[in-house]
Amino acid sequence: MTTTESPAPLPAGPGTPVAKTDASGPRPRTAKKEGGVLNVFSHGVLIIWAVMVVLPLLWAVMTSFKDDSSIFGSPWSLPDRLHFDNWSRAWTQASMGDYFLNTILVVAGSLTGTLVLGSMAAYVLARFDFPGNRFIYFLFVGGMSFPIMLALVPLFYVVNNMGLLNTIHGLILVYIAYSLPFTVFFLTAFFRTLPTSVAEAAFVDGASHSRTFFQIMLPMAKPGLISVGIFNFLGQWNQYMLPTVLNTDPDKKVLTQGLVQLAVSQGYKGDWSGLFAGLVMAMLPVLAAYIVFQRQVVAGLTAGALK
C-alpha cells in the first residue's frame, strides 16, 4: 500500500499576503449596551430637570404681563395683551428702581472686593510655603461650615459699634467677609493648577511679586475668577438675611427686601401682577450674567482636571 503525503506549505514570500488572526475573537457588546442605556437615562434625567427649571421661569415671565383677573381666571393661558404698566408700576410706585440701584452698588462693591482680596490670599496660600500656611487655609475652609445664623447677633453689635449700621459700605464689608471663605478655597485649588515656569521666568526677568501676580498670574486665572465671581454674584444678589438684620433704613434697602416689602405692603389688595413684574426684574440680571459667562464658568470648573 502506498500513501501519498500532502506537500509541505511553501514559505511565504515577500509578496504573499498573510492572513491575520484575531486571538481575542469578537468583542463583547455588553459594555456598549450598558453605556447606551446609561446615556439615555442621564439625558432623560437632564431633560426632566430642565423642564422643571425652565417652565416656572417662563410662567413667571408670562404672568408678569397679565392683569390680576387673568392671573386667577386663566393662570396657564397666554395674556390677551401685554400689560407693560405692571412693570412701570412696580418700578415707580413700589420703588423697585431705588432698590435695584442699591443692590447694584452693594453687589458691585462687594464682588470687586471679594475677588481682589480672595485672589491675593489664595495666590499666597497656593504658591508660598511659610509657617501657618495650612492653618490659615483650613481657617478659611472652616469659615464655609460656620452657619451665618449663629453670627447675626454678634455681627449686629460689631457693625453697630463701628458705626456702619444702615450704610451701603457697611453692607459691602459684611458681604466681602461672608464670601471670602469659599472664594479663597476655590481659587487656592485653581492657582495650584497654573504652571510655575511662567512665574519663575518673570522673577528671572526682574519682576516683583506684585507685578507677577497682577500682570501674569491673575490674567491666567481668568476662568477661575469668572466662575467664582458668578457664584458670589448669585449669593450676594439673592442675599436676604444679612440686609434684613443690618440694613433697616427704608431708603437703603436692597432688591430682596423690596420684593418682600412689595408683597407685604399690599395688604388684602394684592398687586400680584406688579409683584410678578418685580420678581422678573430681580431675576433677569442673574440669568443674563450666567448666559453671558456660561462657557467661562464651565472652563473654570474643569480647569483643575486638565492639569
Q: What is the pLDDT of residues 289-303, one digit of tens each?
A: 878 877 766 666 665
Residue 183 vs residue 85, higher pLDDT: 183
Task: Tell me the pLDDT of the chain averaged across its residues.
Answer: 82
Residue 274 vs residue 169, higher pLDDT: 169
Query: Looking at residue 167, what is its pLDDT?
Result: 92
Contact partners, residue 217, CB within 8 Å, separation at least 6: 123, 191, 194, 198, 199
Range from 18-27, 76-85, 151-160 that averages highest in pLDDT: 151-160
The band of 170, judged by pLDDT with boundaries at 50, 70 and 90, is very high
- What's the rounded Cα separation, in Å, for the pair 223 and 299? 6
User: Closest by alpha carbon to 275, among 66, 20, 4, 54?
Assistant: 66
pLDDT by residue (tens digit) across 63-112? 999 988 888 888 888 888 888 888 888 888 767 888 889 999 999 999 99
Taking residues 31-48, report their average pLDDT. 77
- What's the rounded Cα separation, in Å, for the pair 2 and 12? 30
Percent of the chain with pLDDT over 70: 82
The stretches of the chain forming alpha helices (DSSP H) are 30-63, 68-73, 85-92, 96-127, 133-144, 152-161, 168-193, 196-204, 209-212, 218-220, 222-237, 241-246, 255-265, 272-292, 294-302
Query: Looking at residue 33, what is its pLDDT?
Result: 60
Judge whether residue 211 has pLDDT over 80: yes
Judge whether residue 246 has pLDDT over 60: yes
Residue 101 C-alpha cell reads as: 440701584
The domains of the chain are located at 42-83, 85-306
Query: Looking at residue 177, what is its pLDDT?
Result: 93
- What's the rounded Cα separation, in Å, for the pair 283 and 288? 9
CATH architecture designation of domain 85-306:
Orthogonal Bundle (1.10)
Distances (CA, A) of 282 to 24, 172, 203: 62, 19, 46
Amino acid at 281: M
Q: Are 239 and 155 in contact (CB under 8 A)?
A: no
Query: Looking at residue 4, what is its pLDDT?
Result: 46
The band of 6, judged by pLDDT with boundaries at 50, 70 and 90, is very low
Query: Looking at residue 28, what is its pLDDT?
Result: 53
Amino acid at 14: P
